[in-house]
Amino acid sequence: MSHIIEKQLSERVLTIGECYWDTVYGGIASVLKSYCGCFETFKFVPSSRKHNWKDKFRYDLGGLFIMGWRLLWDREIKIVHIHTAAGGSFDKHAYYAFLAHLMGKNVVMHCHASRFKVWYEALTKAHQARVLRALLRLDCLIVLSESWRSFFVSIGMVPDKIRVLNNITSYPEGNRVERISGEAVRLLFLGEIGSRKGVFDLLEAMSIIHSRFPGIAYLEIGGNKMEKELRDAIHSLSLDDCVRFNGFVSGEDKNKLLRNTDVFVLPSYNEGLPISILEAMSYGCAIISTPVGGIPEVVKDNGVLVNPGDAKGIADAILLLSDPDTCRRMGRLSQEAVKAFYPDAVMSDLKQIYNSLLTS
């Protein structure tokens, strides 16, 4: 990937976020990995690492001090760009933002959280007030969609400080392999294994289809966390011949799955704007998902949206997309829609955000 944020600008930005150089498990790490390739100079301080509790404690505590030290000796840095989520991630990064503000830097917080609304609404009034104070101190809050912009405005954030920036996805590596006539529709789920992403609802939908139209659909699953529960569910629903669990996949293994997929399915209960959907769109996949977070802004005529938890709705969507012509048409629309999320487009918008802060 070419450097899109040139040295003259990239030298003035310090990025804060989770380690991205290990095996990538989450969306923020994927975004940071892409950003690293786009910045000619990528100044970065890791604020968390998910390997084990010792590393997590060391990075959580040490990152704040390292950032302060970097800002003291590197006078070129004018912008601190903090990538955060909800819960403890936001509360922790609020201290980073406060310190950077005290040191006279322009502070950008980039919220990737899928559960921010759920988390915020469960807080005490005092905690909500602290969250809002942290937000109001920012020079810029970046969100992933207009729906998230509306939410932050509704809790008191200054509208003029909020910028919508598309999530970033890489260009596809190779072309999708077209389905052979008469072959089962090839489905793919990639994500954390658990109830939030709706993978167990997807298995229920596959059970409905398998009982009525055996052989019409085949599902590949990639992910980590509740692996035993997933395997048990596949076996108990008698889906062993039409569902395969691959464990966590990345790199070429993931690309190979995407190249051999017709329909990407992510029936989540809450989301920001999933990188996995954008990756699947880049490979020309039709999408089945849910109208949560920023998903309805990217899944329109290129897929089908069903309500979270609606296994029958998922099954009906799969049956609709088992038609090759319908599936191919939606896949072509996906490839067109995803162009706004490729690095050149996203980095051009990010440049404008940075330059507006430097000239204000």
pLDDT along the chain (360 residues), means of 10: 84 94 71 92 88 65 91 97 94 96 98 91 97 98 94 97 94 89 94 94 97 95 94 96 94 94 96 91 97 93 97 98 96 96 95 94
Q: What angle do CA 325, 327, 330 make, to 5 degrees?
A: 110
Residue the block writes with tokens 């003259």: 8
Look at residue 357 in the predicted model and tell me its pLDDT: 97
Give CA separation, 278 vs 83, 96, 329, in Å. Answer: 19, 30, 17
Residues 6+ apart with CB under 8 A from 171: 282, 342, 343
φ, ψ for residue 164, nearest 5 deg: -90, 125
φ, ψ for residue 324, nearest 5 deg: -60, -40
Q: Is 87 helix (H, G, I), strand (E, B) or coil?
A: coil
Q: How many angstroms separate the CA atoms of 131 and 121, rounded? A: 11
Query: Which architecture characterizes domain 7-168+342-359 according to CATH?
Result: 3-Layer(aba) Sandwich (3.40)
185-340 maps to which CATH number?
A: 3.40.50.2000
Domain ranges for the chain: 7-168+342-359, 185-340
Residue the block writes with tokens 């991205």: 20
Tokens of 63: 């990152």
What burial class does residue 29 get, using C-beta atoms within 10 Å of its C-beta: 0-12 exposed, 13-18 middle, 19+ buried?
buried
Q: How many angstroms separate the CA atoms of 269 and 79, rounded? A: 34
- Assess contact for 64 and 99: CB atoms under 8 A: yes
Q: Do domains 7-168+342-359 and 185-340 have the same CATH topology?
A: yes
Look at residue 251 in the predicted model and tell me its pLDDT: 87
Look at residue 175 in the predicted model and tell me its pLDDT: 87
Look at residue 113 in the predicted model and tell me its pLDDT: 82
Nearest residue to 276 (alpha-carbon basis) of 263, 268, 266: 266
Query: How many of the other CB atoms lie within 10 Å of CB of 185?
Result: 22
Look at residue 273 in the predicted model and tell me its pLDDT: 86
Q: How many angstroms separate the CA atoms of 31 and 142, rounded? A: 13
Q: How many angstroms separate the CA atoms of 239 and 218, rounded? A: 10
